[in-house]
């Protein structure tokens, strides 16, 4: 199953005005502390880092840890003066990597 991510941007963004970005990625965020129904320890499997870049420049990043829920949901505010491209990347254990890009249109 392909990795899924949902990213929500406001429909209209004004130059120089802060706007909210919401991003979720489908991921189990297995802590490594839990056991399965059969009593077998479930290996740790986490998203470790989230980065958001605007035209290659890092504008938001987060380090994620075991206490963060499955399907981690991050909401943050950005401000842009000109249109560009927002790129999102999630990296984690077992080589997990998911990228998304969204065009940013600024009025």
Partner 1 sequence: MRSAWLLLLAVALAAHADDRRSGRETMSPALRTLQADDAQHPAQLALALGREQWAAGARSCASCHGEPEKLRGAATRYPAWDQGIVDLPGRIQRCRVKHQQQPAWAPEAEPLLALSALVAQQSRGLPLRPPLGPELDQAAARGQRIYTTRIGALNLSCAQCHDERAGLRLGGSLIPQGHVDDYPVYRLEWQSLGSLQRRLRGCASGVRAKVWDWDSAELLALQTYLARRSAGLTMQPPGVRP
Q: How far apart are CA 22 and CA 9, in angstroms?
A: 7
Q: How far apart are CA 69 and CA 43, in angstroms?
A: 16
Nearer to partner 1, 6 or 66 (CB): 6
Name the minimum Å distance from CB 70 to partner 1. 7
The footprint of partner 1 (CB under 8 A) covers 1-2, 4-6, 8, 22, 24, 26, 69-71
Nearer to partner 1, 2 or 67 (CB): 2
Structure-block tokens of residue 84:
């560009």
Name the minimum Å distance from CB 26 to partner 1. 5
């Amino acid at each position: 199953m392909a990795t899924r991510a949902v990213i929500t941007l406001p429909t209209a963004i004004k130059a120089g005005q802060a706007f909210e970005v919401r991003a979720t990625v489908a991921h189990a965020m297995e802590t490594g502390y839990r056991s399965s129904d059969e009593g077998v320890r479930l290996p740790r499997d986490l998203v470790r880092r989230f980065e958001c870049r605007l035209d290659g420049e890092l504008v938001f990043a987060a380090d994620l840890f075991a206490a963060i829920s499955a399907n981690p949901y991050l909401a943050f505010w950005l401000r842009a003066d000109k249109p560009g491209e927002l790129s999102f990347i999630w990296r984690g254990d077992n080589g997990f990597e998911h990228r998304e890009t969204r065009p940013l249109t600024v009025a």
